[in-house]
Amino acid sequence: MATAQAPIMTVETTGCCIAGGGPAGAMLGLLLARRGVPVTLLEMHRDFDREFRGDTVHPSTLEILDQIGLAERVHELRNSKVSAPTLLTTRGPFTPFDLSRLKTKYPYILMVHQKDLLNLLTEEAKKYPGFHLVMGANVTELVREDGVVRGVQYQTDDGAHEVRALLTVGADGRFSRVRLLAGIDPVRTSPPMDVLWFRLPHLPEDIDAPGGAFGGFARGHILGGFDRKDYWQAAFVIPKGSYQSLRAEGIDGLRRRIVEVEPRLAKHVESLRDWQQVSLLSVESSRCLQWWTPGLLLIGDAAHAMSPVGGLGINYAVQDAVVAANLLAKPLLDGRITTGQLRAVQRKRQWPVRIIQAFQTQLPKRVIATALRAQEQQGLSVPWFVRAATRIPILRDIPPRIMALGVFRVRVED
């Protein structure tokens, strides 16, 4: 790791330096580059092909991609669609939401590998001369002048480098180093669950999931599966902190518990042979009280890590990027960024984030925690009022609309 004393091999100057090439950083880089702002995007990994990070592209993000002319290309990527998942409950199949009724050009969640989405965004950004992507660039320090952040230092295989910028953006995810260096400490809440993600094969004796997904509960675990055409992307929700004891039981224990929830997966789970096939998402929800310091803005998971309920993290990161680009592209082109402008980005985004995080907190408390505690129960019944709400036309589309399209619709301004 570089230190402040490491000799700096190159110094580059740009308009906006973005640390982190996830959905937030890649989208912001593209949007600013489209507006003619010089951008340097620094990504720690050498490529975007890492372990599973989620792949739910919601209608809100599809609409944004449509506005910038990328909707067709994202649909050309290997994908599958989820519109109305089915949960298997004690009282039979239950469909918690149906996106096909929403007023949008894209009434479904498009399941796309995150690496494909990030490659698409960054390849598009590279068409603009002011965009510079550095892979394998680990941001290690902030450059400060008179209390204002003026860029970063980063480490690559060949040594330490510096980027000086009018604006530095920390889009480096839930464990953000930029946030740490800026001295911003998020408020954390810890939902009562963790999630194991893994793939299961499609087999002739397969699960029927007409809406593109299925789900079920049993004996303190929740299982969800998303049809990815050539495999199932499965999520196994476990009580928080139980991963180590589950792991100690060996992969056989995990296979057995999956089959307890969904006996029709008895053959599918034979493909799980090693814990390396399983990604752990330690579920955390957090938000920073302040998303900025002079010269620096945090967006995406760095500003607010979302719980996986609703698959919103990618989409909220993308919406942050759109709002940041809308509000900051012109000041960046004019060569002056004020703290008022950074505060405006936070003001516009913090309420949608807080509303969704409140919903994401209540659902685990009321439904998921009960399911995870139900050690002896073979299944869980969905409360009558939830069932009723999903049948009343005026009520049933409100939660899916908020989940799919955002609390407020976000549009790209040119």
Ligand X SMILES: Cc1cc2nc3c(=O)[nH]c(=O)nc-3n(C[C@H](O)[C@H](O)[C@H](O)COP(=O)(O)OP(=O)(O)OC[C@H]3O[C@@H](n4cnc5c(N)ncnc54)[C@H](O)[C@@H]3O)c2cc1C
Residues that bind ligand X (CB under 6 A): 19-25, 42-45, 52-56, 137-139, 171-173, 177, 197, 279, 281, 300-302, 306, 308, 311-315, 317
Q: How far is the CB of 56 from ligand X (least distance, A)?
A: 4
Closer residue to ligand X, CB minimum distance, 373 or 409 = 409
Token pair recorded at residue 397: 């589309």
- Rounded Cα distance, 101 and 119, in Å: 31
Q: Which is nearer to ligand X, 26 or 166 (CB)?
A: 26
Nearer to ligand X, 164 or 267 (CB): 164
Shortest Å distance, C-beta 184 to ligand X:
15
> Minimal distance in Å, beta carbon 125 to ligand X?
14
Min dist. Cβ of residue 273 to ligand X (A): 20
Please report how close the Cβ of residue 29 comes to ligand X at its closest, in angstroms: 11
- Name residues whose C-beta falls within 8 Å of residue 231's C-beta, 6 or more positions apart in sequence: 199, 200, 201, 202
CB of 384 to ligand X, least distance (A): 29
- Residue (54 or 59) nearer to ligand X, CB: 54
* For ligand X, the closer CB: 163 or 314: 314
**Smallest separation, CB 282 to ligand X (Å):** 8
Q: Do 245 and 254 contact (CB within 8 A), yes or no?
A: no
Q: What is the 3-state secondary structure (H, E, C) of the chain?
A: CCCCCCCEEEEEEEEEEEECCCHHHHHHHHHHHHCCCCEEEEECCCCCCCCCCCCEECHHHHHHHHHCCCHHHHHHCCEEEECCCEEEECCEEECCCCHHHCCCCCCCEEEECHHHHHHHHHHHHCCCCCEEEEECCEEEEEEEECCEEEEEEEEECCEEEEEEEEEEEECCCCCCHHHHHHCCCCEEECCCEEEEEEEEECCCCCCCCCCCEEEEEECCEEEEEEECCCEEEEEEEEECCCHHHHHHCCHHHHHHHHHHHCHHHCCHHHHCCCHHHCEEECCCEEECCCCEECCEEECHHHCCCCCCCCCCHHHHHHHHHHHHHHHHHHHHHHCCCCHHHHHHHHHHHHHHHHHHHHHHHHHHHHHHHHHHHCCCCCCCCCCHHHHHHCCCHHHHCHHHHHHHHCCCCCCCCC
The residue (of 30 and 137) whose beta carbon lies closer to ligand X is: 137
Q: Would you say 37 or 139 has its CB closer to ligand X?
A: 139
Q: How far is the CB of 381 from ligand X (least distance, A)?
A: 26
Shortest distance, CB of residue 266 to ligand X, whole angstroms? Answer: 25
Sign of the torsion angle spanned by Cα atoms 44, 47, 52, 54: positive
Structure token pair of residue 275? 């814990």
Which is nearer to ligand X, 315 or 390 (by Cβ)?
A: 315
46/411 with CB nearer ligand X: 46
- Nearer to ligand X by Cβ, of 225 and 308: the residue is 308
Q: Minimum distance from CB of 411 to ligand X (Å)? A: 20
